[in-house]
A = this chain, B = another copy of it.
Amino acid sequence: MEKIDSHKVYVEPFHVDFTGRIFMGVLGNHLLNAAGNHSTRRGWGIGALNETQHTWVLSRLSIEMTEMPRNYENIEIRTWVESVMKLFTNRNFSILREDGTPMGYARSVWAMIDIDTRKPCDLLTLYDGDILRYVVSEEENVCPIEGHGRFRFNNAALVRTIQPQYSDIDINGHVNSIKYVEHILNLFPLQQFEKGIRRFEIAYKTEARMGDELSFYVQEGEHGEKDVEVKKADGSVVCQSRIIFFE
């Protein structure tokens, strides 16, 4: 089997913002679907893993676009495994126009956990290291965007506190990873999105559930980037995010 998968996506009218660009959360959802299909086709998708009491957990996602897909556009998402370490695997993506030219790229980091103990598993030995067969060569790994950044919150202001609602909760009873993207971007005024988002990063730290109050703190970085930290009432960090808007 090929190492790189192709996932075709049509940009639906209700999935674009007021500028006609796809919502970042919707694009993120398409990336996660592409990742899920890639894993499933190779025998280590969620379904197969559940049988052995394992599941994938998304730890980081960074998306960087030169241009966002627009209403009615047909795009292609390509995804592959860049590398596998003991506790994490790096999966990359490219997002292509219908003519095959790149519009952007994404990087992600995943861990595998035991469903009962919630402890991470050794990816190098799981299924006899089968995943290693799909690691692409350096030449195939074309993902010319920066790695995941580091967050340092020292000056963040509380902007909003929300109670998760029915539509936030996924089949595992957790706040849906993609819904955080939506809530985080909703912190900013509409005009901020006129030129679009150049880069969006998110780091998932702790899962939240119905009943967990989520507070959103924002600080602006040296280069105009917006850093957002989401915390529960007990102070534990749920996720951290960085948004770089086009100037």
Contact = CB atoms under 8 A, between A and B. Distances in A.
A125 B19 CA distance: 33
A236 interface: no
Contact of A186 (B165, B176, B188): B165
Nearest to A72: B47
Most central of A36, A169, A190 by chain B CB within 10 Å: A190
Most central of A14, A47, A186 by chain B CB within 10 Å: A14
A52 interface: no
Interface string A19-30: 110010100010
B18 A33 contact: no
A143 interface: no
Contact of A190 (B12, B25, B210): B210
Contact of A170 (B18, B172, B189): B18
B190 A14 contact: no
A71 B36 CA distance: 13
Contacts of A193: 166
Given A14-B176, A33-B12, A36-B13, A25 B167 contact: yes
A166 B178 contact: no
| Pairs of residues from A and B, 4 with the lowest C-beta to C-beta distance, nearest first | A165-B186, A18-B169, A167-B182, A20-B171
8 contacts: A13-B46, A14-B32, A14-B33, A14-B170, A16-B171, A18-B169, A166-B190, A167-B185
